Amino acid sequence: MPDTPIKPNDLEAHWMPFTANRQFKAAPRMLVAAKDMHYTSHDGRQILDGTAGLWCCNAGHGRAPIVEAIQKQAALMDYAPPFQMGHPAAFELANRLSEISPDGMNHVFFTNSGSESVDTALKMALAYHKANGESSRTRFIGREKGYHGVGFGGISVGGLGNNRKQYGNQLPGTDHLPFFYDRNKQGFSKGEPTSGVEAAEALEQLVALHDASTIAAVIVEPMVGSAGVYITPTGYLQKLREICDKHGILLIFDEVITGFGRLGAAFAAEKYSVTPDMMTTAKGLNSGTVPMGAVFVQDKIYNTIVDAAAENMIELFHGYTYSAHPIAVAAALASQKLYKDEGLFERAAELAPYWQDAIHSLKDANHVVDIRNSGLVGGVELEARPGKPTARAYDVFVKAYEKGLLVRTTGDIIALSPPLIISKEQIDEIFGILRDTLAETN
């Protein structure tokens, strides 16, 4: 077969994820390099990263300690099989992560993404109840507007219609809590809204409907990210924990976005003083450098599943070819050390009030109907154009990029989540560009 010439500028072959492919390929936006707080575009412009890549590059881009760790590991050992074999760094990483996890959460299972972490946690919940003699507990409870990745388990417990409607039936028996947000009561809240906790009490109604003996787990994001940055009301997570404990239901926090400093603490579980039974993570685990995720589990879950298996038998029939991939692990170890050495979680907490004041300065900006924030996360909701939902936010996204700022849109919401190394001057730059962009947008 003759060699086929490579066509680096032919965009057709690449089917892009979560992208309007025809629209993008008609006017592509290409990134060719990244360092610290900036990307470099294909035409040589510096683009301030207002999204930490995709909620993930918490330490910024091209950080030397992480780059060097990746290079060193690739030269030492590129791959090691994870089934019935191990490599020392994987155990070191699990121990380091257990040191910053909530009390009692001392076991870590490695995956390759947030989607895999969610599906892993759901399977662990089923395995736990079966090992515990409660095989009838097979039902999962998610929440409206929840995003839990794109596996069939994740879209089943997720509550975003567009992520579900193309794919027919998902996991049977899944139900959803109502959403807690009411703009009339919670609009322009700074940090946690003080109303909306009653939405958590709806879990009691679902328990009454299905019976607790059928429910395996409840899974929620401690802060809604991909659906548009919605901050959980004061007391909401505590109420879920209380109801789950009452009925023997596992509580899973999806911390893929909130984990590793995003809200000014190692995990949202720490920020809100609520310990779940499991946490799903990815993204900031190794600052987005190499695909990787992890599921943190309470000791009772690990011990119950492991102890129920016969001696010398596999306890959990689950895993991935690239679980604890050596290069991903090396990147994670370096990232975790960098977070600690530079105090980046504490830095996020210290910058949060400045960030809050800056984002709420857009309250009077053109088209803004709501603003939401927590830690170094923000959502600016725009009034939709009549009959053209998402169009106005998309225009802001494109114009901001042209002005040198990368933001993310979800519906008519501008979502912001910069690297934790951001400076006050760069925070001012983000919102200055956004104000100017909104003023120019019809």
pLDDT digits (tens, 9 = 90+) for 377-418: 999 999 999 999 999 999 999 999 999 999 999 999 999 999
Q: What is the mean pLDDT of the chain?
A: 97
Q: Tell whether the torsion through CA atoms of 236, 241, 246 and 247 is positive or negative.
A: positive
Give the pLDDT mean for 3-31. 87
DSSP class of residue 385 equals B
> Alpha-carbon distance 424 to 435, whole Å?
17
- Which has more confidence, 118 or 3? 118
Instruction: Indicate whether 5 pLDDT > 70.
Output: no
How many residues belong to the chain?
442
pLDDT at 169: 77
77-94 pLDDT, tens digit per residue, is 999 999 999 999 999 999
> Alpha-carbon distance 421 to 419, whole Å?
5
pLDDT at 4: 58
pLDDT at 298: 98
pLDDT at 250: 99
Domains of the chain plus CATH, in order, are: 21-59+343-440 (3.90.1150.10), 68-341 (3.40.640.10)
169-209 pLDDT, tens digit per residue, is 789 999 999 999 999 999 999 999 999 999 999 999 999 99
Alpha helices in 101-201 (DSSP H): 114-131, 152-157, 183-186
Q: Tell whether the torsion through CA atoms of 235, 237, 238 and 239 is positive or negative.
A: positive
127-147 pLDDT, tens digit per residue, is 999 999 999 999 999 999 999
Give the pLDDT mean for 244-260. 98
Among residues 33, 52, 65, 67, which one has the least CA distance to residue 422? 52
Instruction: Indicate whether 237 pLDDT > 70.
Output: yes
What is the band of 346 on the pLDDT scale with cuts at 50, 70, 90? very high
Could you tell me which residues come within 8 angstroms of residue 336 by beta carbon, excluding any fewer than 6 positions away? Answer: 93, 96, 97, 100
281-323 pLDDT, tens digit per residue, is 999 999 999 999 999 999 999 999 999 999 999 999 999 999 9
Q: Is the pTM of this model over 0.85?
A: yes
CA distances from 3 to 6, 155, 214, 221, 390 (A): 9, 41, 58, 48, 43
Instruction: Indicate whether 1 pLDDT > 50.
Output: no
Phi, psi at residue 430, to the nearest 5°? -55, -50
Tell me which amino acid residue 100 is: I
Instruction: Indicate whether 9 pLDDT > 80.
Output: no
Instruction: Indicate whether 3 pLDDT > 70.
Output: no
Q: Is 231 helix (H, G, I), strand (E, B) or coil?
A: strand
Give the pLDDT mean for 110-137. 98
Q: Is 170 helix (H, G, I), strand (E, B) or coil?
A: coil
Instruction: Indicate whether 70 pLDDT > 70.
Output: yes
